[in-house]
Amino acid sequence: MAEQHSAALAHQFDDLAQQLDASTFGMWVFLITEIMFFGGLFAGYAVYRSAYPEAFAAGSLHLDIALGGFNTVVLIASSLTMALAVRAAQLGDNPAVVRFLLLTLLLGTTFLGVKVFEYHHKWVEHLVPGPAFHFDGPLAPQVQMMFCFYFAMTGMHALHMVVGVGLLVYFIAQARARRYSPDYYGPVEVMGLYWHFVDIVWIFLFPLLYLIGHRR
Partner 1 sequence: MMHRVEPKSVYFKVFAALMALTTLTVWVSYYDLGDFSIAAALAIAVTKALLVILFFMHVRHSPPLTRVAVAGGFLWLVILLVLTLSDYFSRGWLPSPSGW
Return residues touching partner 1 (CB under 8 A).
Answer: 16-17, 20-21, 24-25, 28-29, 31-32, 35-36, 39-40, 42-43, 46-47, 50-51, 65, 69, 72-73, 76-77, 79-80, 82-84, 87, 90-91, 182, 189, 192-193, 196-197, 199-200, 203-204, 206-208, 211-212, 214-216
State in angstroms the smallest separation of the CB of 165 from partner 1.
18
Transcribe 177-193 into DSSP letters: TT--BTTB-HHHHHHHH
Q: Which is nearer to partner 1, 139 or 188 (CB)?
A: 188
Q: Which is nearer to partner 1, 35 or 167 (CB)?
A: 35
State in angstroms the smallest separation of the CB of 144 from partner 1.
20
**Over the range 114-149, which residues count as b (16 or more CB within 10 Å of their CB) and which as e?**
bbeebbeebeeeebbbeeebebeeebeebbbbbbbb
- State which amino acid sits at residue 44: G
State in angstroms the smallest separation of the CB of 211 from partner 1.
4
What distance lies between CA 96 and its chain's CA centroid? Answer: 23
Q: Which is nearer to partner 1, 44 or 129 (CB)?
A: 44
168, 106 Cβ separation under 8 angstroms? no
Q: Which is nearer to partner 1, 128 or 175 (CB)?
A: 175
State in angstroms the smallest separation of the CB of 163 from partner 1.
18
State in angstroms the smallest separation of the CB of 73 from partner 1.
7
Q: Which is nearer to partner 1, 140 or 193 (CB)?
A: 193
Q: Which is nearer to partner 1, 73 or 163 (CB)?
A: 73
State in angstroms the smallest separation of the CB of 126 from partner 1.
26
135, 127 Cβ separation under 8 angstroms? yes
Task: Give me the helix-helix angle, 16-51 and 140-176, nearest 10°.
Answer: 170
Give the C-alpha distances (Å, rounded to integers) separating 168 from 21, 31, 192.
22, 18, 10
